[in-house]
Amino acid sequence: MTSEWLESAQGRHLLAAEAVEMRRILDGVFGDQLVQLGPWAGGMFLKAARTRRTVVISEEPAAGVQLISRANDLAIPADSIDAVLLAHILESHGDPHAILREVDRILRPDGQLIVAGFNPHGTWGFRHMLSRGRFPPGMASLISDRRLKDWLRLLNFSIQDTCFYHFQLPMGSGRLSWSAPMADDSRAKAWMKASYRKLLPVGGNVWQRKPLWPPLAACYVMTARKEMYTSTMIRPVRRRRRRLVAGLVNPTTRNAA
């Protein structure tokens, strides 16, 4: 049902908006291995990855999936992955806490986590509450960015950034969306300019992203980093000999006599 909806006009505009955000974020993610949990977009976002290897893991076979494994019990060694992408899997899974704990297990110290979610306080979240079949299809429960931050902090993740995007009403064909098709870079840049206010930095080619009113956004993407703790060796404390009380002298043979 979800894959069919993504092929609709609304779904294509959503994927175009998300592709812009993922391209921006993944441009700063490096390392050996990037893992996407869930079949969302069939691994399309990973085309912008700069890691040496990428893999899409899902619990069921789907387009773009390369490995079948349970999201809350991954067949991956601990502390072996540089970055993990969670694209709307927390909202469609029955136990999002278990997924986050598993992500914490497989991520290396200082590893990066990218989470894309639907904004429950926006217009799409309002339709989600009113829709009997759940909107977007397959999303069981939407998770707010504040709640997600609390969950990640309990797992000792440091929140790097949260960006709201895709300012489109959840109705109609989506032709009036501010999103732009991923294949057209010029339209993608036009969408970014329309969605964010332009600041004039030195050079005039850098865009500093300042979001519009977040409740209008359909989605958000959050980046976090797994905290790295350095071990400090604690040396045993040497016991010192007790000192005599000041003013007292050990008795000698002459004094004793």
pLDDT of residue 4: 86
Q: Which helix (H) or strand (E) holds 220?
A: strand 219-226
At the fourth CATH level, the homologous superfamily of domain 2-229 is Vaccinia Virus protein VP39 (3.40.50.150)
Parse the chain into domains and list their residue ranges: 2-229
Where on the phi/psi map is residue 163: left (φ > 0), alpha (ψ -120 to 50), or beta? Answer: beta
Q: Please give the pLDDT value at position 202.
A: 34
Identify the pLDDT of residue 230: 52
Q: What is the rounded distance in angstroms from the CA atom of residue 204 to the CA atom of residue 109?
A: 37
Distance CA 186, CA 70 (A): 39
Q: Tens digit of pLDDT per residue, the chain (257 long)?
A: 678 889 999 889 999 999 999 999 999 999 999 999 999 999 999 999 999 999 999 999 999 999 999 999 999 999 999 999 999 999 989 899 999 999 999 999 999 999 999 999 888 888 888 877 678 888 888 999 999 999 999 999 999 999 999 888 777 544 433 333 333 444 444 444 444 433 333 333 333 344 455 677 899 999 999 997 654 555 655 655 545 444 444 555 555 44
How many Å apart are CA 98 and CA 103, to the nearest integer? 9
Q: Which pLDDT value is given to residue 177?
A: 39
Please identify which residue in the block is written with the tokens 């429950």: 120
> Dihedral, CA atoms, 100, 102, 107, 109, nearest 10 degrees?
80
Q: Token digits for 241? A: 């000999």
Per-residue pLDDT, 191: 43
